[in-house]
Structure 1
Amino acid sequence: MFDMFYEMHRGSWAILIVLFLITYFTKSQKISLMLQRLFYLIMIVSGAGMLVTLNFPLQYVLKGVLAIVLIGVMEMLVARKRKGSPMPMMWIVLIILLAIILMMGYGVISF
């Protein structure tokens, strides 16, 4: 069961990053934004499934909280782009959060 959640989670992260870039850099955002939000849900459900099978280790709970913050940053970037007021500092936050989350997920950062 864990392997199924893991593969679903890993794949949804990869697709989510691509969908975020497509949504941010294109003018027509409706379909890509809906798909992006669908993959948010897939990522959250598969991550929660992995947390349940692993009995909620603190490191992965923290990773989940950071991932939810990252989702918020992605949504804020897209919303600000639509309004015409980009936020360059949010890009830095997005890159740092993404790097930390990926390193925690692949075991580079552990505690």
Structure 2
Amino acid sequence: MESVLFYNTHLHITTWVIAIILFLVALGLSRGQNKKSLNITHMILRLFYVFVFLTGLFLFMKNHAINEMLYGIKLLVGLIVIGMMEMTLVRLKKGKSATVYWIILILALIAVFYIGFKLPLGFHFFS
């Protein structure tokens, strides 16, 4: 079990891809009248926030010695992404403006992908 969590970058990638898809589905549902479907999707998304965090934390614990600063920054920016996804959905569910949260989410998402691709375990698009 430990080897699956500690050594598998693909598990982390799978969890955040599913989380992004669920976020987009929840965004689509927030425009409609079916609040029950939105609430169910939002709760499943919250579960995937936990999965994304845990798989990322396990990867951080295993690999932070490679480049402590970049891995630490990526962990913090990843937490910001999760927080902004949640805040954006909550604000939209309440019918309030989420412009600031959208801006922070997009900037943090760009930053976390850039840092992730720069790290040794990432894909080397920017080498």
Same fold? TM cut 0.5:
yes
- Percent pairwise identity: 30
Q: TM-score if structure 2 supplies the norm length?
A: 0.77
Out of 69, 87, 102, the residue aligned to residue 58 of structure 1 is: 69
For structure 1, the residue ranges without an aligned partner over 5 or more in a row are none
Look up the match of 2:18: 15
Q: TM-score if structure 1 supplies the norm length?
A: 0.87
Residues paired across the two proteins, number: 109
- The alpha-carbon deviation at position 86 of structure 1 amounts to 2.4
- The alpha-carbon deviation at position 109 of structure 1 amounts to 7.3
Look up the match of 2:122: none
Counterparts of 1:109 and 1:94, CA distance in 2: 22
SS in 2 for 1:106: helix
For structure 2, the residue ranges without an aligned partner over 5 or more in a row are 119-124
Contact 2:19 2:45 (8 Å CA) reproduced = yes
Give the greater-gyration-radius structure (CA). 2
Look up the match of 1:80: 91
After superposition, the CA RMSD in angstroms is 1.9
Confirm whether residue 29 of structure 1 aligns to residue 38 of structure 2: yes
